[in-house]
A and B are shown apart, each in its own frame.
Chain A
Amino acid sequence: MSRVHVTCTVNGDETEFLCDGGQTLLNALRDELGLTGAKEGCGTGDCGSCSVIIDGRLTCSCLVLAPEAQGAAVLTVEGLASGDDLHPLQQSFLEGAALQCGVCTPGILMAAAALLDRNPDPTETEVRYGLAGNLCRCTGYDKIVRSVLAAADSQRTTSQRTNTEETA
């Protein structure tokens, strides 16, 4: 059967790939594009380890068919850092030891990034609800939640400083 040709933006780069009609986006990211950050945990949308952001929406890529990405902007964990500069969430996860085995981490980082994008100053409860779609079997979540709150703090401080500098 002929494969489907998909053109989209992945982490800011124009990208094209061939896929089968029934192939998931997760599968295409990993096997066609070599972006193995997103993981398949459950394959049914329960664990969140495949989370990516499609056109600004946090989504389980295991529940998205690859051809649906036609024309879309897809952001994966590989696109979170700017060159060698880690995203504030990545930095705070390292400093806060918010991971052990790391399988859930790419999905949790994407869910946290989507949350902070929508709500730069979340309460602990809001963080916990925002990450409800992501399972972690190692950490007990506490260090993850604290690290997301710390990243939110540091992002707000940085943007305040930038604003002040621009005003000055």
Chain B
Amino acid sequence: MLAPMKYAAPATVEEARALLAADGGARVFAGATDLIPQIRAGRPEPSMMIDLKRIDRLSGIARAGSTWTIGAATPTADIVAHAGFAAEFPGLAEASGLIGSDQIQNRCTWGGNLVNASPAADTPPALIVNDAKAVIASAGGERTVAAAEVATGPGATCLGADEIIVEFTLASPPPRTADAYLRLIPRTEMDIAVVGAAARVTLAPDGAVTAAAVALGAVAPTVVRVPDAEAALIGGPLTDDALEAVAQAASAACRPIDDKRGTVAYRRRVAGVLARRAVAIAADRAAADQRGASS
């Protein structure tokens, strides 16, 4: 098993892209926490494994002005442990810290989580409510795509055969804004989402919701945004009625499947519950957010 593969560790994005373009059987990887198990489960073996971790630009967490840049091959353990980042994006840090074990989080990455395109992936809903952008290296240079546009179906992405996600960018949230991510699994660790729900809320000083985003994982082929939930929140205070409308809109937006982790009916119900709770947590955090406070 795995024996005939070649291994390459390019030092630059261009080198990596050239290797990928020259060999249709080559695959790029960082943590390989999905790729190696898939190969072991019988997926075709790549002819070459291209390790992206030796490319400086692909690893690291930096903030310049109000823009955060996170290398696509940065282990999620580093993201979780980055106090400055986690303070601004607690929900995205939560989602990053829920993937597998410590062993997995020391290897797995946002880039891999997104391009593996599992419907149940934890970080995509949280990336999407924060309007994360993926910077993709292409033949003609680079293009920037919303994280929401990367996965096009289970295991399918918008990336061309010779394209690589280089980094993610995120705008620092405005004052009184916060996110949250909740996931249901049958145990407390080491499982895959039955449902995942991410929310981000911005509050006016009087408590009215001025912006909201809700996204669900594991209930459709790709992450589902819930515009009806967002509309129900924006413009008013966070009342029980508004939260109930969020739950109903989330349940209605699901297009889930029956599988060993849950039935269609269960997933719909849980999606509503998690969406409502995630919105409430995000709003509590937004209300407690002191950044930009006048006093």
Contact = CB atoms under 8 A, between A and B. Distances in A.
A66 to B, nearest CB: 8
Contacts of A51: 103
A133 B45 contact: no
Contacts of A48: 101, 103
Interface stretch (B30-38, B119-127, B279-287): B30-38
Contact of A45 (B1, B2, B77, B104): B104
Contacts of B51: 65, 67-68
Interface of A: 1, 4, 20-24, 43-46, 48, 51, 57-60, 62-65, 67-68, 70, 111, 114-115, 129-130, 132-134
For the complex of A and B, the 4 pairs showing the least CB-CB separation, nearest first, are A133-B101, A22-B5, A22-B2, A21-B7
B48 interface: yes
A104 B102 CA distance: 16
Contacts, number: 99
A68 to B, nearest CB: 6
A22 B106 contact: no
Contact of B189 (A20, A62, A132): A132
A133 B2 CA distance: 24
A5 to B, nearest CB: 12
A21 B63 CA distance: 36
B75 interface: yes
Contacts of B7: 4, 21-22, 65, 67-68
Contacts of B48: 21
B3 to A, nearest CB: 5
Question: In the complex, which of the residues B4, B40, B101 has the most CB atoms of chain A within 10 Å of its own CB atom?
Answer: B101
Contact of A133 (B3, B6, B31, B100): B100
Given A20-B3, A21-B49, A22-B5, A129 B189 contact: yes
B2 A132 contact: no
A22 B102 contact: no
Interface string B95-128: 0000011111011000000000000000000000
B104 A60 contact: yes
Nearest to A46: B190
B38 to A, nearest CB: 9
Given A58-B106, A65-B49, A133-B101, A24 B2 contact: yes
A65 B51 CA distance: 9
B201 to A, nearest CB: 28
B32 A65 contact: yes
Question: In the complex, which of the residues B9, B49, B102 has the most CB atoms of chain A within 10 Å of its own CB atom?
Answer: B102
B71 to A, nearest CB: 16
Contact of A20 (B2, B31, B37): B2
Contacts of B103: 45, 48, 51, 58-60, 111, 133
A24 B53 contact: no
A63 B77 CA distance: 16
B213 to A, nearest CB: 29
Nearest to A110: B103
A134 B103 CA distance: 9
Contacts of A67: 7, 9, 51
B9 A45 contact: no
A133 B102 contact: yes
Contacts of A21: 5-7, 48-49
A113 to B, nearest CB: 12
Nearest to B46: A22
Contact of A63 (B5, B102, B107): B107
Given A63-B33, A65-B32, A133 B104 contact: yes
